[in-house]
Structure 1
Amino acid sequence: MTGAVRTRLTLAFRLALRELRGGLGGFYIFLACIALGTGAIAAVNSVSRSITDAISTQGQSLLASDARFVLRNREATPEELAYLQGLGKLSRSTSLRSMARLPDGSDQALVEVKAVDGAYPLYGAFEAEPNQPLSTLLAAKDGSFGAVVAPLLLERLNLKVGGELLLGNTKLRITGTIQSEPDAVSEGFGFAPRLFTSRDALSASGLIATGSLVEQAYRLRMDDPAIGLRNIGDRANAAFPQAGWSIRTSARAAPELADNVTRFSQFLTLVGLAALIVGGVGVANAVRAFLDSKRTTIATFKCLGAPAFVVVLIYLIQIAVIALAGIVIGLGLGAIAPIIASQFMAEFLPISTAPRLYPGALTLAALFGLLTTLAFAIPPLGHAREVPATALFREQGFEARRLPGWPYLLAAGLLMMALAALAIVTAYDRFIAIVFVVSIAGAFVVLRAVAALLSWLARRSPRVRSPALRLAIGNIHRPGALTSSVVLSLGLGLALLVTLTLIDGNMRRELMGRMSEQAPNFFFVDIQGPELEGFRKIVLAEDPKGKLVEAPMLRGRIVAFNGEDVTKMKVPAAGQWVLRGDRGITYAETLPENAALTEGQWWDKDYSGEPLVSFSDEEGKALGLKLGDKVTVNVLGRNVTAKIASFRKVQWQSLSINFVMIFSPNTFKGAPHAWLATLTDASASSEQEAAILRKVSNAYPTITSVRVKDALDVVNTLVGQLAAAIRAAASVALIASVLVLAGALAAGNRARTHDAVILKTLGATRATLIRAFSYEYLILGAATAVFALIAGSASAWYIVSRIMHLPSAFLPDVAISTLIIALVLTVGIGLIGTWRILGQKAAPVLREL
């Protein structure tokens, strides 16, 4: 670096700091936009990291073991059990869903039963009220076994500690309530309250029969986990290749939860980035207004011989300093977010999230904030470079301007590309990130086009008789108009809000509307073959108009496609759920009535050749399968291979009996299995449903009855909690939009002051000017609302119909609320900002003209 360049840089830095002594006037909205967007991204990623780190570091407690082997619908063979016992200390548990009944048969409830042995838990602590050892609480006494239940079950059955329940054929005595279950997170979400009892109690209940949907878990505590867990899955599968067990270690105790947290945080990060980009518009407006107010200073610098790049550098340094201050404020908000969030998460996640900083999350947020600031600030700086020295001697703003020089456009473009690349590279799902980036870029282009179209229409509109309306129309297309600023400020935030509101509305409409109307009233699970006829008689006697549908059901896990182990295959995200754990499978002679073939043929009624399977079309194509491919499924510890004979369309949203795979009947000939049934009757009353539930539960205690409405209520509650988080994130973008709108209007106040004074001098009244400004803001707000509705509706349609595969509908209440929000914000903020202008004294302004 030469001495002359170093001198100029030093001079620019000194002058920049000297100007900053005058305060941050005009930059408070700039500061707020950067702090808000950066803080949102930092907070979301810090909270996400705190949860995933806690899951990773507390793996043994969350799994209640070093490793867990799970077998479904069968117990380990003596050879398998001996192998597991040789790996370390063993604890066994059995889990299933069943009906818990009052002793007099008057009421019942679905429960998630977990029967444990005396060694449980191997890690972590099980906490109950009263605080006694679990073995004491579950001990047999006076002909009944102990049970510890979730408080919700006591509420549902109006029971207290000390009361009794029937589980299958055995009596349970409620000895306490569950306060904390160490491995609840790793076992996933349950639709029913938990009931803990002993394995002896479950054995006496008679609930475990051939074909029952039961999960047998074998937990291990090893002397040296670092050595014992090394390649444990490969070693166990090599020793017992057809065991079909699912193996999880403490290193990934709750992978589904960790993945869901990461996926959801990435989505919220993109929403926060949208807020930051909306704030970028505010940055551009604030820089433009600031440089406009400094035009005489800039001209003075030039008259004194300052090179153009030194002038640009002076203001770039000021903008960078202010941006860094905003970023630091945002990072401070992000740093304390995990501490605040831990207070709320403790109720839902039994993990301890110790307060700490997450440098990676904070660095990412800082990069987003810095790139956004520079990308939006550089074009106005390019305009400042062109300010002529003659501006020192006459009134001149930046209203009439060409594009800045190509170096500034190139720099801004490269920064935008870096911002997009950072968003894509750091995303969990890069396809979604690419769609987001393209959508944001398209939204900016369209918003510019909307503003240009609005100005063009105003310029060519017929002359109206109302002076106030004529003045409003003129303000929309005149040089220096607020049209582009207002449309850009509100458009993106409102479009995001419309998108998320429509997604939420369509999901709730589907869950509580069409889906709940089409769904069956009940699912009946674990119906044993000898019970089937008696079960039919009870159900049809209670509801003769009901439609009863039955299907044989087994549980199986896909282990290979065309002989290749699925765990070693790279599977697209859309099909991963099919390979995650066991799937319900069935066999059928004929095509189910709720399915339609899309490819291939169904087998003959008396088919007895090679095992065949019909695969769900959407899931099969997502997995890259085609007709003739071989699918290997592990059922009851035995690998069965079948050829894909057809693909069929499955209507999952109907909630009727549907399976990913339906096999030809000869595939499982002689295999033990239970039956699944649904009962559908839209006209059934609550009393009638309660009577059916009571009669079935009392007559066949081992049959599990699931009332679909109850399950939908649980799902709707979860959707509501997710929607609340999404709406909160969208609100950040809307707040940023409001800040930008306020800044844009404030930046135009100087020109509005001149207009108002001249018009008042020419005889215009304050009422006329208020009407004119109101009409202008109404037109701009309405145009922005129309864009937001179109763009938001299109985005919501794509997400709901193409990604979620649900019916999408336009919701009129969303349209009305969006229009009201847009009009209230534009008119309200606009009039608040211009009220002071209307009272401005004429003489001081006229002297400056």
Structure 2
Amino acid sequence: MSVRLPLVLRLALRDMRGGLRGFGIFLACIALGVAAIAGVGSVARSLSEGLAREGRTILGGDVAVTLTQREATGEELAFLRAQGALSHVTDFRAMAVAPDGEAALVEVKAVDDAYPLVGTLDTAPAADGDAPFAGEGERFGAVADPALLARLGLGVGDVLRLGNLDLVIKAELVSEPDKIATGVGFGPRLMISHEALARTGLVQPGSIISHVYRLVLPGGELDDAALARFTARAGDAFPDEGWRIRDRREAAPQLQRRIDQFTQYLTLVGMTALLVGGVGVANAVRGFTDRRRTTMATLKAVGASGGVAVAVALTEVMMIAAIGIVIGLVVGALMPFIVVWVAQDVLPLPIVPRLAPLELLAAALYGALAALAFSLGPVGRVHDVPVAALFRDHVDAAQARPRLRYRLAAAGAGVLLIVVALALAHNVRVAAIFLVAAAIAFGLLRLVAIGTMRAARALPHTANPTWRLALANLHRPGTLTPALVLSLGLGVTLVVTLVLVDAGLRRELTRSLPERAPAFFFLDVQAQEADAFAQYLDGAVPGSTIERVPMMRGRIISLKGIRAQDYTSPEEVAWVLEGDRGITFADTPPEGSNILAGDWWPADYDGPPLVSFDAVIAEQLGLGVGDAVVVNVLGREIPVTIANLRSVEWRSLGINFVMVFSPNTFAGAPYTVLATLTEPAGAEAGGNLTLVREIAARFPAVTSVRVRDVLTAVNDMVGQLAVAMAAASAVALIASALVLGGALAASHRARLYDAVILKTLGATRGRLLRAYALEYGLLALVSALFGFLAGSAAAMVIMTQVMRLPADFVPGPAIVAALIAVAVAVTLALAGTWRVLAQRPAAYLRER
């Protein structure tokens, strides 16, 4: 016995036998948005799975204990060795010097015989065990990053100097298993042994240096409970020693957070594509209902109610939406596998391609709700299609508003889409801001469209038929104005925002730097050598400005009695509570600082330890004058009180710290000096390479950092970020182009009818083309003006509120971007209209 489908479904399936003509844009809009959201979610899930699965290799063991500026004591080492296999790694920055005196900043990693506990150290030529680091008489071996060798003009077998020790390059570094956990450095890697490190003379009291002790716990694959028990034992045994403990579950917490943030951004881009594409969905559904007027009128003629007609049409639309959703899900599900296939050899992250059912389900839900929200309104008009439509030209049919029930249903679907977006967001605040901004943009563009239509209607009639036709097209029934203003307005807004943010970042990095910024930073200047070092700089670069401050490393343990790991903080300042920070002490406020709350301590202050906090960061952390903070410095936990809040000018690239302590806080503790050198006016900023060589020879423990090198690296990073943002936003721009194409396609029959009638009355193709060019040009200019203003406002908000940069505005790049967008849009629109103008009236009139 056959199963009979519900009547509405049977009618919808029969009506769809004619194919999906007219739904290409509909499918593309839904598939594009769903694919973007599903692909982003799937790739992010695969990256997270890779980090979790490879956590042991990334961390270099099951557990890593980090100490700053000191090694573990004998008692601490005994405790760690009793827990399992142990490896000790030391990280710091230094200057490597070639035989010809050329010097380069390097990230030094000193390892022991047990390194690596997990994973493999790959070198070229390949070597076993500690062979690359073995000594040869007075010289020790080293493994160097190829970038370092290229910079210094060296090769395997050559000699370079580190501190007081000559090293022989035994091999080039191919890969180190714990590179991700180590993080990004300022210079290329140089690996040596601990024995070699002791001979360099670079480790001095107060040196900025990290000691990482990695453990492989007994028992093979340990569960989370075993890792938690180790952390508890370590906390009980050494509660106040400044240990920073990580296990393989959080091998790269900063990277995981960056993945989450980038996922948030890309998901919002996918949502933008879906919302913009929703307009294309509405246009396609409106065209579908116009084509199906006769069918719906026939259903009513044989007794179907308006509700049944709406149900049939909505069923067809949602079945077609389901096809688009499936296409998007397939593309999104394949994205991790495509990424691995295309970029497996160059991708630095451990991605494990896999299907992500929850992320795919979320993308499908987004797509279904967007299709429903944007379809219900146009479909609702079917309810009131009269039977008389069987005998009346459907081109002239009035476009009545859908009944209240359908408008409420569409609004309900939209609200549900918002609820789902907020519920699934990584950052609810960011998602809420995005949704509010999207709603405002849609509302403003609707008002712009209405205003344009009313203005065109109110203008006095002109004798020029071309202008009269163009202006009439802006406000007549079935006009393209709302759809084109929305698609072009959003597209131009995105382009202008990206252009201005990129230009603002680059301008902020480069403008006035020779006048404001130091040319060099000098790290690890020993306190006893600080005066001699300053005298040398003054003689080597006459007329320069030299600034120096004491520097130590410390980590925030608690704020207002709450442990740092449990303290709730915004993502943009979470870095303050993670790991060790540079800190200093001073009798007077740092140059350029303004006290905004509280008072600075007296020069001879000798009371309880006090600290001055960056006012902006303190506000974001919920801190104020009088609040208690505990910091760990050199293994000691020191309680301090916030005495004042001060403004900090980070953009000057001068010496600034989040925390400045009263001098008595660290009385007698070892420290180094951080110095800067600002060259005299007219000097080439940071171009004195001879200075770097001489400092490396005279003061081997001092690390020289050229600001130019840092800015170049940051500028490259900004360029890569801008390219990534533009590539991601291209999804939304493609959606805008689809909406434009969909609006033109939806109006094809009406435009064809107009063109035939006007040609019959004597209009030439050239005159019609000029009229359409005027119409599209006016709409594009209105949209470009809105996009310029909205994009400029969005860029200003991003620069000032998100990136905390000055609100400078340079309109040139934005104007050029807007004009290019206008030219492209008008060209595409005219190209789509050309086929309409090519129709011969006779053939069309015979069909009527």
Letter in 1 for 2:31: A
Q: Name the SS for the 2:180 alignment partner.
A: coil
Instruction: Tell me the residue number matched to 2:357.
Output: 359
Instruction: Tell me the residue number matched to 2:495.
Output: 497
Contact 1:572 1:622 in 2 (8 A): yes
Letter in 1 for 2:64: R
* 1:375-414 superposed matches below 5 A: 375-397=373-395, 400-414=398-412
Structure 2 distance, partners of 1:260, 1:812, is 31
Structure 1 distance, partners of 2:345, 2:128, is 23
233, 237, 240: which one aligns with 1:239 = 237
User: Would you say 1:759 and 2:754 are equivalent positions?
Assistant: no
Structure 2 distance, partners of 1:503, 1:421, is 30
TM-score by length of 1: 0.96
Deviation at 1:314, TM superposition (A): 1.7
Instruction: Tell me the residue number matched to 1:18.
Output: 14
Instruction: Tell me the residue number matched to 1:78.
Output: 74
User: Would you say 1:154 and 2:149 are equivalent positions?
Assistant: yes
Q: Give unpaired runs (5+ residues) of structure 1.
A: 1-5
251, 255, 258: which one aligns with 2:256 = 258
Cα pair distance change 1:342/1:809, threshold 3 Å: farther
Structure 2 distance, partners of 1:572, 1:231, is 29
Instruction: Tell me the residue number matched to 2:799.
Output: 800
Range that drifts further, 79-88 or 489-498: 489-498
Deviation at 1:11, TM superposition (A): 2.4
Q: Name the SS for the 2:92 alignment partner.
A: strand
Range that drifts further, 437-446 or 747-756: 747-756
Range that drifts further, 820-829 or 431-440: 820-829
Structure 2 distance, partners of 1:297, 1:783, is 38
* 1:378-777 superposed matches below 5 A: 378-397=376-395, 400-514=398-512, 518-681=516-679, 683-685=682-684, 689-777=688-776
Contact 2:685 2:708 in 1 (8 A): no
Cα pair distance change 1:349/1:199, threshold 3 Å: farther
Deviation at 1:151, TM superposition (A): 1.1
Q: Name the SS for the 2:531 alignment partner.
A: helix
Contact 2:686 2:706 in 1 (8 A): no
Contact 1:516 1:712 in 2 (8 A): no
Q: Name the SS for the 2:137 alignment partner.
A: coil
Deviation at 1:355, TM superposition (A): 3.3
Instruction: Tell me the residue number matched to 1:307.
Output: 305
Q: Deviations over 1:524-550 (max 9, x none)?
A: 000001211221122112211211110
Instruction: Tell me the residue number matched to 2:54.
Output: 58
Contact 1:539 1:696 in 2 (8 A): no
Letter in 1 for 2:156: V
Deviation at 1:350, TM superposition (A): 4.2
* 1:94-243 superposed matches below 5 A: 94-105=90-101, 107-224=102-219, 225-226=222-223, 228-243=226-241
Q: Name the SS for the 2:135 alignment partner.
A: coil
Q: Name the SS for the 2:142 alignment partner.
A: strand
Letter in 1 for 2:33: G
Structure 1 distance, partners of 2:601, 2:478, is 73
Contact 2:49 2:352 in 1 (8 A): no
Contact 2:499 2:817 in 1 (8 A): no
Deviation at 1:844, TM superposition (A): 4.3
15, 30, 34: which one aligns with 1:34 = 30
Q: Name the SS for the 1:438 alignment partner.
A: helix
Contact 1:278 1:737 in 2 (8 A): yes
Instruction: Tell me the residue number matched to 2:818.
Output: 819
Q: Deviations over 1:614-645 (max 9, x none)?
A: 11101111111111112111110111122111
Range that drifts further, 554-563 or 284-293: 554-563
Q: Deviations over 1:547-571 (max 9, x none)?
A: 1110000111111223332223323
Structure 2 distance, partners of 1:701, 1:192, is 17
Q: Deviations over 1:314-372 (max 9, x none)?
A: 22221112111111111111122112222465456545434321112211111111111
Structure 2 distance, partners of 1:450, 1:746, is 22
Contact 1:628 1:643 in 2 (8 A): yes
Cα pair distance change 1:748/1:350, threshold 3 Å: closer
Letter in 2 for 1:727: A
Structure 1 distance, partners of 2:268, 2:51, is 24
Structure 1 distance, partners of 2:100, 2:506, is 38
Cα pair distance change 1:688/1:355, threshold 3 Å: closer
Q: Deviations over 1:571-613 (max 9, x none)?
A: 3334321111111111111111121111111111111122111
Contact 2:499 2:814 in 1 (8 A): no
Contact 1:502 1:793 in 2 (8 A): yes
Cα pair distance change 1:513/1:687, threshold 3 Å: closer
Number of aligned positions between the proteins: 842
Q: Give unpaired runs (5+ residues) of structure 2.
A: none
Contact 2:496 2:818 in 1 (8 A): no
Structure 2 distance, partners of 1:63, 1:812, is 47
Letter in 2 for 1:433: A
Structure 2 distance, partners of 1:181, 1:801, is 39
Identical columns (%): 48
Q: Name the SS for the 2:644 alignment partner.
A: strand
Instruction: Tell me the residue number matched to 1:834.
Output: 833
Structure 1 distance, partners of 2:352, 2:556, is 39
319, 324, 327: which one aligns with 1:326 = 324
Instruction: Tell me the residue number matched to 1:3.
Output: none
Range that drifts further, 337-346 or 590-599: 337-346
Instruction: Tell me the residue number matched to 1:87.
Output: 83
Structure 1 distance, partners of 2:346, 2:541, is 39
Q: Name the SS for the 2:631 alignment partner.
A: strand
Q: Name the SS for the 1:789 alignment partner.
A: helix
Cα pair distance change 1:517/1:502, threshold 3 Å: farther
Structure 1 distance, partners of 2:482, 2:349, is 49
Deviation at 1:398, TM superposition (A): 7.8
Contact 1:87 1:228 in 2 (8 A): no
Contact 2:65 2:244 in 1 (8 A): yes
Structure 1 distance, partners of 2:413, 2:772, is 37
Q: Name the SS for the 2:368 alignment partner.
A: helix
Letter in 2 for 1:556: G
Structure 2 distance, partners of 1:33, 1:179, is 44
Letter in 2 for 1:692: L
Deviation at 1:152, TM superposition (A): 0.8
Structure 2 distance, partners of 1:380, 1:819, is 31
Q: Deviations over 1:235-266 (max 9, x none)?
A: 32222122111111011111110110111111
RMSD: 1.8
Structure 2 distance, partners of 1:761, 1:47, is 57
Deviation at 1:794, TM superposition (A): 1.1
Structure 2 distance, partners of 1:630, 1:221, is 37
Deviation at 1:168, TM superposition (A): 0.5
TM-score by length of 2: 0.96
Cα pair distance change 1:234/1:519, threshold 3 Å: farther
